[in-house]
Amino acid sequence: MFSQTKTTIIGLATLLSLAALPADAQPKYPHATVTMVTHSSPGSGSDVFLREMIKYLGPEMGVNFVVENVRGGGGAGAVARVAKGPADGSIFYATTPTYIQTTLLSKPEFGYDALDPIVTVFYDPEVIYTRTQSPYRSLSDAVNFAKQNPGKGKWGAASPGSLERIALETLNRMTGARAAVVPHDGGGDMIINILNGTLDIGVGELQEISTQLQTDKVKLLGVLTETRISQHPNLPTAKEQGINLVVTKFRGLAGPKNLPANVVAAWETAMPRILANPAYKKYYEGENLVPVFKGQKDSRELTTAFAADTTKSLRELGVIK
């Protein structure tokens, strides 16, 4: 059944690349077919993101891209698949913070450090939100309430090991609010608890609450990025509200170690180009993604710093020793 899926994807990718105009003169990529591995299942976050990206990458790089879903083990299976793959630019892993967290939380045979980051492409902006009826009008309102009523604040985050939970616990420590940080099973159950008023505030990706935002069921209190995001120019960042909290939920690519320099260079050239493509831009802005192109050097630094930060936070929370 999986090979069937794969065949269709190959078929689709081929069709798409046939339909598009040939790429303009640039050094040919050393492989005709490149496999993109994701740990997410067909139809969910990373998978849809990848499939949309290869629509534009295919014609740009002159390559047929195949998406392979290697599920299970919190991303460890997918990482292992790529780490054991040939270091020639024919296989990549679509990175998100998940693969670093899985490495820190368990002892997989191949961890995040078995791969080498190539590029970082997007950030998923994290927002703090609440239901429309709530008296809070900004993040500082909610935090001030929690500060003045220690132990009374009720804050929700998606899952216990998530970046979002770490962010809220950090906020707790920063402000001395001692709010209850309640992790959930993914997202759906948390949104219900926001809508019925069980939780004061929730934190999550902007994309997760797009429906509730459109129907005015929830309102945004702040965004956890360095600068304001183009989709909501009036929404102040946490920093502007006097709270130094920034969450970096990145999306990028990593490959096996010791990739040839021409392969890395090809990716570093192609990525900024598709980011500038107006059609792709329309898509990713609609998906609430923030383009942040980083080449290999910066991506490596980002990964190392992220892993160090997360390790520190998970230790402080007592999740790992």
Partner 1 sequence: MDEIAIAWKALTTTWAIPAAFGGVIWGIFGGALPGISPSIAMALLLPFTYGLDPVTSVVLLGSVYVGAEYGGSIPAILIRTPGTNASAATTIDGYEMNKRGQAGLALGISLSAGFVGGLFGLMMLVLMTEWLARVALLFTPPAYFALGVLGCSVVAGLSGGSVVKGWIAGVLGFMVATIGTDPVSGVPRFTFGSPDLLGGIRPILIMVGLFAVSEILIQVREPPWDKADARDTRLRFPDLKLWKRLALPQAIGGVVGTIEGLTPGGGGTIAAFLAYNESKRWSKYPEEFGHGSPEGVAAPESANNVVTATALIPLLSLGIPGSNSAAILLGGLLIHGLSPGPLLFERNPDVAYGLYAGLFVANIAMFLIGLVILTPCIWLVNRPKPYLLAFIFALVVSGVFSIDQSLVDVGLVLLAGVVGYFMRWAEIPFLPMVLGVVLGYMVESNFRRSLQLSNGELMVFLEDPVSLGLLLCAAALVTYSLMRERRNKKAETGVTP
Nearer to partner 1, 215 or 234 (CB): 215
Of 173, 137, 210, 220, which is closest to residue 181 (Cα–Cα)?
Answer: 173
235 Cβ partners below 8 Å, 6+ apart?
127, 220, 222, 223, 228, 229
The least distance separating partner 1 from the CB of residue 83, rounded to whole angstroms, comes to 13
Residues 78-107 that bind partner 1 (CB under 8 A): 102, 105-107
Q: Please, where are the H alpha helices in the chain?
A: 2-19, 45-61, 76-83, 97-105, 139-148, 163-175, 188-195, 210-214, 261-276, 278-286, 296-316
Of 233, 244, 263, which is closest to residue 86 (Cα–Cα)?
Answer: 263
204 Cβ partners below 8 Å, 6+ apart?
126, 127, 129, 157, 158, 164, 187, 190
Length of the chain in residues, anyone? 321
Residues 174-213 that bind partner 1 (CB under 8 A): 180-185, 188-189, 191-193, 195-196, 198, 210-212
Residues 300-319 that bind partner 1 (CB under 8 A): 314, 317-319
Nearer to partner 1, 174 or 320 (CB): 320
In degrees, to the nearest 5, what angle opens at C-alpha 254 toward C-alphas 53 and 118?
85
5: contact with partner 1 by CB under 8 A = yes
231: contact with partner 1 by CB under 8 A = no
The least distance separating partner 1 from the CB of residue 26, rounded to whole angstroms, comes to 28
44: contact with partner 1 by CB under 8 A = yes
Nearer to partner 1, 80 or 118 (CB): 80
Nearer to partner 1, 9 or 121 (CB): 9
**Mode of pairing for the β-strands spanning 201-205 and 290-294:** unpaired
2: contact with partner 1 by CB under 8 A = yes
Binding region for partner 1 (CB under 8 A):
1-2, 4-5, 8-9, 12, 41-44, 48, 51, 70-77, 102, 105-108, 151, 154, 159-161, 165, 180-185, 188-189, 191-193, 195-196, 198, 210-212, 214-215, 217, 286, 314, 317-320
